[in-house]
Homo-oligomer: A and B are copies of this chain.
Amino acid sequence: MKKVSIQDIAKSLQVSKSTVSLVLNGRGDEKRIRKETQQKILDFAKEQNYSPNHLARGLSRGKSETIGLIVPNISDNFYARIAKRIETKAIHHGYNVVFGSADEDPKREAQLIDIMLNRQIDGLIIASTQQNQKEIKQLKNKEFPFVLIDRHYPDIETTYVIVENSNGIKTTVNHLLKKGRRNIGFVTLESGLEAMEQRLKGYKTAMLEAGVEVNPNWIQKLDYQDYAVQMEPAIQSLTSEQDEVDAIIFATHYLTLSGIRELRKANISIPKQVAVASFDGLDGFDLIDPPVTAISQPVDQMGDTAVELLLKKLDNHTDELIQMELPLDFVIRKSCGE
């Protein structure tokens, strides 16, 4: 049961490859191929269930109707949701998506970019580890169409879609202040990610504006690879007598889960002793005891926008740079007090 090629069809039907190709690409009428010839080809193709070899087509056309998506970690709910949305949207516009998960590893990410380019994808959407300056710059220099999502490089002018990280945290801090909390801790990642920097900045700014002096110990930075282990001492420090916070903001959903676990272990009641808020939510946050107040990200909008911006580049061959910073929702639950 070998695959039939355009050759095979041409031979069987005693017509030329080109004719077959044209008809099968719906350009029969345009090229005034006789109706019956067209029909004959179409029928035969269906009967043999012909389907084109994309490699060959891509090679020949120099494009592949495929966009690549690179995320840091596909098993992170946030990126999984984005990936799904992007795929749906892209399909809808006739593009296919191949994606790769970089495992938060810059090398792997660079490798993925390389692989995808070699596969002649037409464009790229990247949620970057943000440690591949060189590669991103190369993409830009080559004028290869790409858009960054969720994470961008502050030092490189590119098209990107991110969220208002700083504002999101500010809102949260203000909410906590309104609830009477002053000693607000902030648990984030030691990562160099601009998004994390912005969240931290939001925290500092809001505290400053409120006239609360931030005790440096209130800010805890954990390693991505090891946060679950480092969470325990972090929580201990935050809740120790000298630093005693009455609220903690976690910079990601998984930090939040981990943090709550440690707070419980330490028998610290939420929100009575320590209020908790999370950047980014998770299905089930409403069921945790207590339900967790969270900044919710506009995942669908991010995905849609990224695809739209990329398609615009592909269609118009424009290299106009567009930066979008989407607003965040704030979902108030009980973890910050009534």
**Measuring CB to CB, which residues of chain A are less than 8 angstroms from any residue of chain B?**
1, 51-56, 58-59, 64, 73-77, 80-81, 83-84, 87-88, 91, 96-101, 103, 108, 114-115, 117-120, 141-142, 254, 257, 260-261, 264, 282-289
A287 touching B257 by the CB < 8 A rule?
A: yes
Residue of B at shortest CB range from A56?
B59
Q: How far is the CA of A157 from the CA of B158 in the complex (A)?
A: 51
Most buried by B among A97, A99, A288: A99
Chain B nearest Cβ from A61, distance in angstroms: 10
Q: With A98-B98, A115-B96 given, is the CB distance from A289 to B289 under 8 Å?
A: yes
| A118 neighbours in B (Cβ, 8 Å) | 51-55
Task: Kindly identify which residue among B51, B98, B100, B120 contacts A53, using a CB–CB cutoff of 8 Å.
Answer: B120
A101 touching B87 by the CB < 8 A rule?
A: yes
Total copies of this chain within the assembly:
2
Q: How far is the CA of A336 from the CA of B108 in the complex (A)?
A: 43
A55-B59, A59-B59 known; 13 other A-B pairs, CB under 8 Å? A1-B142, A51-B118, A53-B118, A55-B118, A74-B74, A76-B80, A84-B103, A87-B101, A97-B100, A257-B287, A282-B283, A284-B285, A287-B288
Q: How far is the CA of A97 from the CA of B116 in the complex (A)?
A: 11
Residue of B at shortest CB range from A264?
B287
Task: Kindly identify which residue among B54, B141, B288 contacts A119, using a CB–CB cutoff of 8 Å.
Answer: B54
| A117 neighbours in B (Cβ, 8 Å) | 51
Residue of B at shortest CB range from A65?
B115
Task: Kindly identify which residue among B88, B120, B286 contacts A55, using a CB–CB cutoff of 8 Å.
Answer: B120
Between A and B, 27 residue pairs with Cβ closer than 8 Å are A1-B141, A1-B142, A51-B114, A51-B117, A51-B118, A53-B120, A54-B115, A54-B120, A55-B55, A56-B59, A73-B84, A74-B74, A74-B80, A74-B87, A75-B80, A75-B81, A77-B77, A84-B101, A84-B103, A88-B103, A91-B108, A96-B100, A98-B98, A257-B283, A282-B284, A287-B289, A289-B289
| A1 neighbours in B (Cβ, 8 Å) | 141-142
Most buried by B among A87, A97, A103: A87
| A77 neighbours in B (Cβ, 8 Å) | 75, 77, 80
| A73 neighbours in B (Cβ, 8 Å) | 84
Q: How far is the CA of A270 from the CA of B286 in the complex (A)?
A: 16
B64 touching A74 by the CB < 8 A rule?
A: no
Q: How far is the CA of A283 from the CA of B260 in the complex (A)?
A: 12
